[in-house]
Amino acid sequence: MANAPTPHNEARPGDIAPTVLMAGDPLRVQYMAEKYLENPVRFNSVRGMLGYTGTWQGKPVSMMGHGMGMPSIGIYSYELYHFYDVQSIIRIGSAGAYREDLRLGDLVLAQGACTDSNYASQFDLPGTFAPIADFGLLRKAADACERLGVRYQVGNVMSSDLFYSDHPQADKWMKMGVCAVEMEAAALYMNAARCGRRALTICTVSDHILTGEATTAEERRTRFTSMVEVALSLI
């Protein structure tokens, strides 16, 4: 932890809990911290990427933004694992549904993450790496969904480098049974694997690729509470 603070995180060693819940939107992080954490203290505001540490039911937990895309979450999760001794990162984000049986507001527990990114090339592997979640976190999250009566699916997500594409290829991923598309899980899972730590992505369906249904930015910020409650139950 000698490299803390970092160029992107002004926290000092000990400021961040062993488990961190991460969301793309730092304003969503602020909302969650104020709503759920007891005595939240802000540990980071560098580049507007807010981070807070507090307790939930007496247990220490941190919440932090990760921005959009794999390069962004790659930086923040790397620093949390390597420089702040974080053991588990749970991404709580939004995703676009690829399956007809998913509805707006349903949760997707990302068992694995397909990707069109070149992120894995840095590891110089002699083949294709399959980024997967920590099974202990995944199993507990599924149990929590059952207990809380939350609609959910477990399966593959597509972690895309592109939000706007000249050549959309969603239909090809749908044929392979991929549940939803998002932009960060694959990089998070690779960083966790390389560091020997734990990670899970829980996404709320914010829009539907097949039906065209969508939520607003305000709804994504303040109404996607089920995934937060599921994530907090894993601490």
Q: For 48-72, b where at least 16 C-beta lie within 10 A, e where not — what string?
A: ebbbbbbebeeeebbbbbbbebbeb
Query: Distance between CA 127 and CA 109 in Å, rounded?
Result: 26
Residues forming beta bridges with residue 63, ordered by sequence position: 21, 52
End-to-end alpha-carbon separation of the chain, Å?
Answer: 22
Residue 166 appears among annotated catalytic residues: no
Structural contact between residues 181 and 203, judged by C-beta atoms closer than 8 angstroms? no
Structural contact between residues 62 and 14, judged by C-beta atoms closer than 8 angstroms? no
Catalytic residue among 15, 124, 134, 207: 207
Query: Distance between CA 189 and CA 90 in Å, rounded?
Result: 10
Structural contact between residues 234 and 199, judged by C-beta atoms closer than 8 angstroms? no
Residues forming beta bridges with residue 10, ordered by sequence position: none
The count of C-alpha atoms lying within 13 angstroms of the C-alpha of 213, restricted to the half-sphere facing its C-beta, is 14
Q: Which helix (H) or strand (E) holds 26?
A: helix 26-36
Residues taking part in catalysis: 207
